[in-house]
Chain A
Amino acid sequence: MQALREYLNQYVSSLISDEEFEVIQSYFVHKKLRKKQYLLQYGEICKHMAFIVKGAARKFYLDEKGVEHVVDLCIENWWAGDRESFAMSKPTIYYIEVWEDTEVLLISRANVAILEYECKPFNEFVLKLDEKSHIAKQKRITSAISFTAKERYEDFAACYPEILRRFPQHVIASYLGITKDTLSRLRRQG
């Protein structure tokens, strides 16, 4: 839980007190997952968002031809889940698979709502996180639709060196929307 506290403290304007953190942590459930286990599968409703304490996960979409498209890669201090399914209680179109043995802290939609309402620092945290994540997603869209493969790879390597180190090349290639061959050519050039 200490990881969560340090993480939240990075976002709030004044440090979270012991009492506040007691309340916050009581809404989370700790869970361990083995490598290759699924946190979420196609058709299920995403009941929890998972804060990753240790490990790595990937979120992908499986198209009608059976091809996996990596939509998100998550490591420590990231949140894994499908926001659409979580917020609207509708079946997800994604799979979230744990890529290493992973420890997560789970929180339900109802509990997020309670904390947003009752705990000021948590409310502040969610607003800041949303802002940050919106910016990152917007960048990713711009990069996916307007950058060349080379620019996309360089941008990714500069922003997420740790993710680059943790996932194999075919996963990174899929995340960038390029072929494995293009990726290895780009890596050689770089």
Chain B
Amino acid sequence: MSGISLRGVSKRYGSVDVVHGVDIEIDKGEFCVFVGPSGCGKTTLLRMIAGLEEISGGDIFIDGRRVNGIDPARRGAAMVFQNYALYPHMTVEQNMGFGLRMNGHPRAEVATRVKDAARLLQIQDLLTRKPRQLSGGQRQRVAIGRAIVRNPQVFLFDEPLSNLDAELRAQTRVELAKLHHQLAGSTMVYVTHDQVEAMTLADKIVVLRAGVVEQIGAPMELYESPANIFVAGFIGSPKMNFVNVSAERDALRLDDGSQLARPQTKTAPQRLGVRADQLTIIDPEKGAIRGEVSVVERLGDSELVHVRTAWEQEIVVRVPGGTNSRVGSTVGLALAGRVHFFDAEGQAITVTSQARTND
């Protein structure tokens, strides 16, 4: 049974297409994250689901019901805004209960529902305060509380953590994940440009670029087998390394002339992608790629070693913490794990049999 489904949804502002015929199925109870760079149409999509933005083409169904043209309040969805959008002149309690009271719910019922939501979010002590007396994190909770009070089938989050500092963001992220379990059964759609949030929170990630869905899948699915260069580069930190290769009969030639074994593929690979932790630093004489260490980022548990290749490209390698790589030293790199290949259009190429790459 489907929670939300988008079929051929598009959005046009005048003559500018911002969303081009998007199809997305979100299951009931699923936590779905729309992720992509700014301007990719993710927020527009969310606002179309909410009903704040008109749908130019296609259909949106919530719980099997076509909601095009239905008033936002009657779609069974609640939204948490980027800037919280709390009413500055009302107390926390009034903010949370405002929608219910305005729609004629009895005072006592509103009070219990507000109390329940406040307990869930541990903001019982803040109920009589005004928004300007709250910290950013507290405002965030109140905004979520306002959504919970309405008991919606669908929660919509529009970059809810982007105004918080790094520490609070990490903390709130964990709490949102907990909340999703506590509110089992409610579907959540969450928009962010931060792939870490997407990876940590999502059951399903939708990667968008320029109004087009690049890939839909579970976090590890996107991480392990990105459909194209864009997804490969967007998901995962540090960013995947890409190296240009030219395909020869049974080898792949790098820009400095060194060779790698060619895997068996249908089309000829043009680029090779490898994540930082799938590379190892070895003796310069033995490595497939040679380069000079330019920067070392020490993260504690690991080190990110930036290696400058003969063709002036920076490749990042993750090595265990305490390795103490020396800047300026010449090293060799070996492909030590999964390698991704992409064709001229940037689409991933399926490898029919992975060639041995390390030696």
Pair from one complex: no
A residues sitting closer than 8 Å to B (CB atoms) are none
